[in-house]
C-alpha cells in the first residue's frame, strides 16, 4: 500500500489480487509455519534484539482509494503527538515515488513532512517507490538508483530508515506495488546497494531495508531466491532490515474455526514465521537482520465496523509482540492515521485510525494505550540466531 501520487499521473488505484489468490489452503499454511518453526533460528547463540518501535503512516490517501480529503500536516503532527504521548521512540512512515527522468524530487513530494516530523523528534522512515511510467518500456533502474542517492543527499540528515521499493514481489496495482513494473527486483537490489554506498561514504546513521507483500503465491520462492542469485553476499551485507506488509482479514484470509481476534493474531505470527524461517533463508538473509511490520491495518466501511478495526489492531499488536523475540521483530507501523474519505462506501477509503476530520476512532485510543504500555522500555530478552 502507498499513498496517492502528488499529481493524477496514474489511473485510479486497483488493490492487490483477491484474498483468495493471496491465501493458500489452511493445510499448507499451518504445515509451512510448522516447518519454519521446526527449522528454527537456533544455534545456541543469543543476541539481544533491538528496542521495539511503533509507528504509523500519517496520511490518508491509499491504494484503491477513490480520492482524499486534503492533508493537513499540522493536524497530522498533533494526532501523532497524542498517539505517542509517552514519549517512546516512534516511527513516521512516508512515501516518495520515482516516475522516471521527469519525476518530482522527493523533496518536492514529501520534503516538508519529513522535516516537520524529524524536527518534532520523531524517527522518519522514507519509502522510495519504483514506478517509472515516464519510460517506454517502463523500466529505469539506473535512474532510480541515482534518484535514491539524490534523495539521500537532500533529506538524509532527517532520516532514520530508508525503504527501497514498495512491494516489489507483487503486481496487479501499478499505483500500489512496484512489482507491476519491469526491473523492480533489480531496482530493489541495486537501490539498496547504491543507498548503502552513499550512506557509508557520507557517514549517515540510516538503516536500509526493503519490504514485501506477504503472500504464499508460487512466485514468492522465485522472488526471494532472486535476492540470493542476483544480490548475493554484497546485497545481504548492505541490508539492515526486512519489512512485511500484512493485512489480516483484508488481503490475507483468516483461518477458519477460530475467533476473529485469534485469526488476526495467527495471520500476523504466521507471516513473521514464514518470512523468517522460509523466505529470508532462501535469500541467505541471517536472523540477525531484524524484521519490521512495515504496513498493517484493518479498514472500516460497509460491513467493516469500528469495533472490528479496534479488535484487529489489538490482535495485530498482540501477534507481533508474541513473535518479537523469537523472530527478531524490531518495529510495526500502521496504515494509516486517518481516512481518505470517511463517508465513502469503498473500504479502501477508510484505513484510518481517525476519520477524515481527524476524529479518533476506537482503534486510535487502543493504539495510544498500547504504545503507552509497551513503547517505553519494552523488555528485550535475547533471541536465537541461525
Domain ranges of the chain: 19-375
* Overall pTM surpassing 0.85 (yes/no): yes
Is residue 131 helix, strand or coil?
coil
Question: So what's the pLDDT on residue 88?
Answer: 86
What's the CA gap between 298 and 296, in Å, rounded? 7
Q: Rounded to 10 degrees, what is the CA torsion of 71, 84, 127, 97?
A: 0
Question: So what's the pLDDT on residue 33?
Answer: 43
Of 87, 97, 85, the C-alpha closest to 143 is: 97
Question: So what's the pLDDT on residue 65?
Answer: 67
Question: So what's the pLDDT on residue 39?
Answer: 40
Question: So what's the pLDDT on residue 379?
Answer: 46
Of 65, 140, 155, the C-alpha closest to 109 is: 155
Beta strands in the chain (DSSP E): 46-47, 53-56, 90-98, 123-130, 161-164, 207-213, 241-245, 291-296, 329-334, 383-384
Which residues fall within 8 angstroms of residue 259, CB to CB, at 6 or more apart?
Answer: none
Question: So what's the pLDDT on residue 384?
Answer: 41
What's the CA gap between 134 and 143, in Å, rounded? 11
Secondary structure letter of residue 228 according to DSSP: I
CATH for 19-375, among 3.20.20.80, 3.40.50.1780, 1.10.3720.10, 3.40.50.80? 3.20.20.80
Positive or negative, the CA dihedral 268, 258, 23, 249 is: negative
Tens of pLDDT along the chain (386 residues) come to 766 544 333 322 333 333 333 333 333 333 334 444 434 443 334 455 557 899 999 998 776 667 788 889 999 999 999 999 988 889 999 999 999 887 789 999 999 999 999 999 999 999 999 999 877 667 899 999 999 999 999 999 999 999 999 999 999 888 789 999 999 999 999 999 999 999 999 999 999 999 999 999 999 999 999 999 999 999 999 999 999 999 999 999 999 999 999 999 999 999 999 999 999 999 999 999 999 999 999 999 999 999 999 999 999 999 999 999 999 999 999 999 999 999 999 888 999 999 999 999 999 999 999 999 988 756 444 444 33
Question: So what's the pLDDT on residue 11?
Answer: 29
For every residue of 141-210, DSSP letters joined together read HHHHHHHHHHHHHHHGGG-SEEEESS-TT--S-TTT-GGGSTTHHHHHHHHHHHHHHHHHHTT---EEEE
The DSSP H or E segment spanning 15 is none
What's the CA gap between 3 and 9, in Å, rounded? 13
Amino acid at each position: 500500500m502507498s499513498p496517492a501520487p502528488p499529481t493524477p499521473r496514474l489511473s485510479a488505484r486497483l488493490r492487490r489480487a483477491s484474498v483468495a489468490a493471496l491465501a493458500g489452503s489452511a493445510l499448507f499454511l499451518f504445515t509451512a509455519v510448522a516447518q519454519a518453526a521446526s527449522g528454527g533460528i537456533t544455534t545456541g547463540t543469543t543476541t539481544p534484539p533491538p528496542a521495539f518501535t511503533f509507528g504509523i503512516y500519517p496520511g490518508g490517501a491509499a491504494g484503491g482509494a477513490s480520492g482524499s480529503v486534503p492533508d493537513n500536516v499540522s493536524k497530522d503532527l498533533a494526532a501523532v503527538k497524542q498517539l505517542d504521548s509517552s514519549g517512546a521512540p516512534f516511527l513516521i512512515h512516508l512515501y516518495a515515488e520515482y516516475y522516471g527522468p521527469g519525476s518530482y524530487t522527493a523533496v518536492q513530494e514529501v520534503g516538508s513532512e519529513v522535516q516537520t516530523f524529524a524536527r518534532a523528534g520523531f524517527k522518519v522512515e522514507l519509502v522510495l517507490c519504483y514506478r517509472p511510467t515516464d519510460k517506454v518500456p517502463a523500466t529505469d533502474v539506473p535512474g532510480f538508483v541515482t534518484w535514491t542517492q539524490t534523495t539521500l543527499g537532500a533529506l538524509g540528515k532527517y532520516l532514520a530508515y530508508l525503504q527501497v521499493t514498495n512491494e516489489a514481489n507483487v503486481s496487479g496495482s501499478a499505483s500500489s506495488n512496484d512489482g507491476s513494473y519491469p526491473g523492480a527486483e533489480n531496482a530493489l537490489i541495486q537501490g539498496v546497494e547504491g543507498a548503502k554506498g552513499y550512506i557509508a561514504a557520507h557517514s549517515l546513521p540510516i538503516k536500509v531495508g526493503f519490504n514485501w507483500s506477504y503472500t504464499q503465491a508460487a512466485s514468492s520462492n522465485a522472488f526471494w531466491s532472486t535476492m540470493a542469485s542476483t544480490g548475493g553476499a554484497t546485497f545481504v551485507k548492505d541490508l539492515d532490515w526486512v519489512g512485511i506488509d500484512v493485512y489480516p482479514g483484508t488481503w490475507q484470509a483468516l483461518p477458519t474455526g477460530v475467533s476473529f481476534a485469534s485469526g488476526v493474531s495467527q495471520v500476523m505470527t504466521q507471516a513473521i514465521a514464514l518470512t523468517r524461517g522460509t523466505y529470508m533463508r532462501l535469500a541467505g538473509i541471517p536472523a540477525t537482520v531484524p524484521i519490521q511490520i512495515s504496513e498493517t491495518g484493518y479498514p472500516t466501511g460497509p460491513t467493516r465496523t469500528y469495533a472490528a478495526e479496534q479488535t484487529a489492531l489489538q490482535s495485530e499488536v498482540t501477534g507481533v509482540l508474541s513473535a518479537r523475540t523469537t523472530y527478531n521483530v524490531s518495529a510495526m507501523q500502521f496504515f494509516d492515521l486517518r481516512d481518505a474519505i470517511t463517508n465513502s462506501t469503498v473500504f479502501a477509503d477508510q484505513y484510518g485510525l481517525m476519520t477524515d476530520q481527524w476524529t479518533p476512532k476506537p482503534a486510535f485510543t487502543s493504539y495510544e494505550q498500547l504504545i503507552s504500555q509497551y513503547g517505553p522500555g519494552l523488555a528485550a530478552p535475547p533471541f536465537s540466531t541461525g
